[in-house]
Amino acid sequence: MQMLAKFLRAVLKALANPRLAAGLVIVVLLILIGVVGPFFVDVRNADPISVKTNLPPSPKHWLGTDSGGRELLAVIVVGTPQTLRMGALAGLIGVLIGTGLGLIAGYFGGWLDRIISAVTDTMLTIPPLAILLVVAAAVRAINVETMALIIASLSWMYATRVIRAQVLTLREQSYVQMARLSGMGSFRIMFREILPNMVPIAFASLVGAVSAAILSGMALEVLGLGPQNTPTLGMTIYWALLYSAFSRGMWWWWTPPMLILMLLFVSLFLISSALDDFANPRLRSAK
């Protein structure tokens, strides 16, 4: 109960930050597009050859239609949650892997730390986009989940380094030393004494990982290596490029997904910045 009360107080304190509140409001509004949108928009029109092609915005089709016979409002309603799901899944998997490896490397040290650090540093020197292109091109049937796993396989290194650095400091704290002297096991100390202090940093890393995952997914999708049969914001821009929507003056095709992506990245930046203030003692003391 005390830990729950402490966690709730921390959450309420964090929500008092206007940047965090503004970022969360934008994210919630974007999530509501996929939750509330299907009640007002026929999402079946997001399938190819559902409506007439190349129609500009009108009272019947608020955001117009594309050259594939898709209603763009339906595509936005379906594609926005898919893009969010891909980024959240990839970021969550990457941060979970990074947190686990960082805890092990930072707490136990020795040969485990040397191996994990060597692998992490080696992976950081490899251009991730090049590997993503090769892997995505090799996978024939790609969907949102597969794409998230591909991106997550290259998004755990930064979380590993951040968590490891913090654990190296926390393992020398007096309460950790007392836990060792009391006979508490290593894994129990890691999960009961150290991990709770990692939560703000892990959340900040998660927000950054989600943003990076969406950006990586966008890069793959714009190159045509995304899920071909699932509407996403990145694939919408890919189809717009493929059918020369920019040169044809079809602004209604590419403008809405780009605006949503801009809002998404701004919201994630605000949340990450607020969480950095909350997790970084130096920033808090400076203010």
Backbone φ and ψ for 65, nearest 5 degrees, come out as -130, 165
Per-residue pLDDT at 264 exceeds 70: yes
Average pLDDT for 194-219: 86
Which one is predicted more confidently, 200 or 251? 251
Least confident range of 188-202, 229-243, 271-285: 271-285
Per-residue pLDDT at 71 exceeds 50: yes
What pLDDT is recorded for position 6? 53
pLDDT tens sequence across 231-250: 899 999 999 999 999 899 99
What pLDDT is recorded for position 74? 94
What pLDDT is recorded for position 75? 94
The full set of domain ranges for the chain reads 62-286
Average pLDDT for 76-83: 93
Which one is predicted more confidently, 87 or 13? 87
Average pLDDT for 156-168: 89
Average pLDDT for 208-216: 89
Per-residue pLDDT at 17 exceeds 80: no
What pLDDT is recorded for position 204? 83
Domain range 62-286, its CATH number among 3.40.50.150, 1.10.3720.10, 3.90.1150.10, 3.30.70.920: 1.10.3720.10
What pLDDT is recorded for position 14? 59
Average pLDDT for 124-142: 76
| 140 pLDDT tier (thresholds 50, 70, 90) | low
What pLDDT is recorded for position 87? 92
Which one is predicted more confidently, 101 or 274? 101
Average pLDDT for 27-51: 91
What pLDDT is recorded for position 67? 92
- Torsion angle, alpha carbons of 154, 82, 143, 233, to 10: -80
Mean pLDDT of the chain: 85
For the purposes of burial, counting CB atoms within 10 Å of the CB of 35, is it exposed (0-12), middle (13-18) or buried (19 or more)? Answer: exposed
| Cβ pair 33, 65 in contact under 8 A | no
Per-residue pLDDT at 51 exceeds 80: yes
Predicted TM-score (pTM) of this structure: 0.84
Taking only Cα atoms into account, the Rg of the chain, rounded to an integer number of angstroms, comes to 22
Per-residue pLDDT at 80 exceeds 60: yes
Q: For residue 72, what are its two tokens?
A: 């763009």
What pLDDT is recorded for position 281? 53
Percent of the chain with pLDDT over 90: 38
Contacts of 125-128 with CB under 8 Å at 24 or more apart are: 128/154, 128/155, 128/216
What pLDDT is recorded for position 8? 57
